[in-house]
């Protein structure tokens, strides 16, 4: 079992669901450089481990998913070039989450502000506790979101609302996040993890190759250097050559559950 200073890494072998928990409760799970690096390491371990089939990201404690960046660490950054590198490093880790062929769901158990909101948005879906709060308050510090927030918030809620949220630094409740499309579901806090595991469990009954190719094809829509329709066509053809396609169609004809292998 992997061990980290700022994360909990818990794989349920029976389901193949890995839960990565941000574990800095005294700091409301605020992101510092070490924690971001650990998230990247944990994601790479998960992608390399065939026993991991899906991933849940959440925060420890009842107050925060991730309440933002570590402000003391930010204040100590001494140059524009160091700040740029910090942004690029965070973007790289968050893009690894977004591009994971294994489904990643954020279970947002409290405050998801600044870098925390950006981390949640990098996941493929967001399930929010009814106590969750979302926001990009960086302009209060004379900053802007630096880990992809300007791009992903715009993709999720549209240009006008994204600008309003980032320019006012307003914090929104879970039900508003649901209405805007920032959250997929809102559930009572006590039911958050069970609901998220159940949703991920449903996804994991599907063909793993196809699940990964859906994620890649959807991501291609937002990538200027990729032609989304061609990515989809290529992926469609790849599915036809897979054992999972043969098994899925045969299972359908035989009226039985499919036993997918990911090949």
Q: Which residues are catalytic?
A: 118, 138
Supply φ then ψ for residue 27, to 5 degrees. -110, 15
The structure tokens 């992926």 sit at 235
SS3 content of the chain, % helix, strand, coil (to 5): 50, 15, 30
CA 57, 62, 68, 73 dihedral sign is: negative
Tokens representing 111 are 């405050």
Q: How far is it, in rounded angstroms, from Cα 256 to Cα 86?
A: 50
- Using DSSP bridges, classify how beta strands 171-173 and 133-135 pair: parallel, antiparallel or unpaired: antiparallel
């Amino acid at each position: 079992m992997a061990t980290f200073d700022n994360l909990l890494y818990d794989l349920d072998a029976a389901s193949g669901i890995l839960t990565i928990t941000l574990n800095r409760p005294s700091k409301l799970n605020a992101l510092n450089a070490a924690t971001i690096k650990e998230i990247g390491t944990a994601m790479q371990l998960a992608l390399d481990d065939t026993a991991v089939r899906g991933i849940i990201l959440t925060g420890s404690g009842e107050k925060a998913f991730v309440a933002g960046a570590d402000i003391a660490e930010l204040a100590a950054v001494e140059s524009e070039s160091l700040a740029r590198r910090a942004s690029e490093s965070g973007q790289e880790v968050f893009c690894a989450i977004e591009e994971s062929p294994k489904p990643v769901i954020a279970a947002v158990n409290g405050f998801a502000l600044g870098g925390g909101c950006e981390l949640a948005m990098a996941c493929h879906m967001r399930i929010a506790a009814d106590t969750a709060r979302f926001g990009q308050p960086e302009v209060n510090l004379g900053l802007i979101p630096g880990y992809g927030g300007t791009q992903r918030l715009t993709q999720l809620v549209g240009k006008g609302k994204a600008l309003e949220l980032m320019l006012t630094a307003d914090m929104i409740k879970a039900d508003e996040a649901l209405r805007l499309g920032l959250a997929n579901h809102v559930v009572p806090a006590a039911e958050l993890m069970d609901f998220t595991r159940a949703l991920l469990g449903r996804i994991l009954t599907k063909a793993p190759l196809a699940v990964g190719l859906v994620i890649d094809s959807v991501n291609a829509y937002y990538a200027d250097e990729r032609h989304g329709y061609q990515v989809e066509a290529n992926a469609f053809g790849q599915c036809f050559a897979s054992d999972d396609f043969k098994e899925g169609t045969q299972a359908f004809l035989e009226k039985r559950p499919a036993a997918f292998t990911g090949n």
